[in-house]
Structure 1
Amino acid sequence: MAMTFDKTDLPVLKPFRMEGAPYDAFYHTRWLAGLRLRWVAVLMVLWPTAALAQSGMAMGEAFAALWRWMPFLVTQGFLFNIVISLFSMLIGTTLGVMLGLGQISRVGVVRKLAWFVTQLFRNSPWLVLLFIVLLALPYELNLFGQTVRIPAWMKAVFGLSLPVMANISEIVRGAVLSVPSGQWEAADSLGFTRRQILYEIILPQCFKRMIPPWMNWYAILTMATPLCSLLGVEEIITLSRQAMSAEDNQPELLVPFYGFALVLFFAYCYPIARLTIWLERRVSVKF
């Protein structure tokens, strides 16, 4: 028996469809690069003003304390954050390139092991990795009868380089696989070995494709360096706490000191974000 449905002019609630947005690896960089500098400047001025207006300490006194400590925070603190980010990026890039090439190896064991290491450190919280490295690595080593101490900042560099290594590995793998397969076949027909094809034909084309995401991850790494303060590394956040402690831990100092750290990181990372977007447009394939 055929089923019939009665027609009605009443409003009917249609089923809800939830469609996920496509993944964008440059989302945070685009957001940072898209900020209007004038609105950021207004916010950085009004936010400390509104916060200090609710406290008992005058704005002039709070910023006078910040002014006294500013050279110390920049030269001994923020520059150390940059040093940590540079060393972490150098180690992470070196290991990441080797790991990425391992993911496209013809040897199954090497390929699977490289994939496992990449996914392990790529999907692990950065703070957890830092604590594991802090507890796993010794504080000193005995080499040829000499005691060599391992400072906390070196452990922090190694801990931050692990997630960077995993993400650089994915960048290298994706860049190599993005080269049309016809180039592999053409080079193979000319008698090139796989090593020659990879290092003389494929990888030179991948450099310009890898630079924008590489810079994107460097900006993310730089903004993650304050996590090292939890390990006792004397970077800008740790020194800011020490400076506020020297000023009798006035709660009114929180906004000026941490706001100053925010300004430094923004001034350093914003040009990197803008340059990353420009390079991405420059090297993008035009159809």
Structure 2
Amino acid sequence: MPIRARSRVGGLAAVATAVAATAALGTAAPAHAAATDPAGAEPPLRYVALGDSYSAGSGNVPLDPSAPLACLRSTVNYPHVIAGRTAAQLTDVTCGGAQTGHFTKSQYPGVAPQLDAVTADTELVTLTIGGNDNNTFISAILACGSAGLLSLGKGNPCEKAHGDSFKRQIDDSTYPAVRESLRAIRAKAPNARVAILGYPWILPPKADPACFAKMPVAEGDVPYLRDLQAHLNRAVQRAAGETGATYVDMAPVSEGRDACKPAGTRWVEPVFFASSLAVAHPNAAGEAAMATQTLDTLGTLG
């Protein structure tokens, strides 16, 4: 089913988690954004956005006033960008810190499970999910950052301490959980296009000594974390392929846009000296790029 669009337009981290944990919890309804069509026009695309902080645009402003404050949902997240470009009727239930389990159970008191927003007449679903499951990716970033500071950026202390344990967690737990989540979406919305995005690069392929002050990861652990992120993305891609979902590959387009790059070039903010609160998360340019890549992958009709 093609996506209707007015035009085709080109282009986990500790601080955000701490802000979310200390924020007062809101219980507002999901965000809705709908275009006003003239009488007799084709109805807008019914679009539901699910997922974690990369979908919510956590750390970017302005915050979505209709969202629970703890979700740190932004109105510049890629679902809002997609909705604006396609004149879609958006129901946005994305939430920072979400895991696959929060599709079927409440993440916070008074916040409905995300899958509740998906109905039989939903036409498009987008999501990023899996990075928070078992705290695998968050744990890896925090562990490698702490080890990097202790080693003053030398060696590969994180890899030595953890080996392939993070990859095993992804294979044994995250991958099947993502697959089951995609199956659950398909069961609720059998006619919807479902697009699951990979995570854009956080780190470059090799260590950049000038970046250590912004991303305190030891030189040998930079390729280790990069490989771990690639492994997570491959698990997401595999789950998509097995469930009929579309995988949106952010790796090629985000190359050279990692957190080590200068402001104005990077799509992901560094842990220190960030230009926004979106530490180790996409900034507004990154969210817009995720929207563009999603629309390019799905295809649009003018």
- Give the shorter-chain TM-score range: under 0.3
Instruction: Name the structure with the higher strand share.
Output: 2
Higher normalized helix content (fraction of residues): 1
Q: Which has the higher contact order (CA 8 A, sep 6+)?
A: 1
- What TM-score do you get using the length of structure 2 for normalisation? 0.27
**What TM-score, normalized to structure 1?**
0.28
Larger radius of gyration between Structure 1 and Structure 2: 1
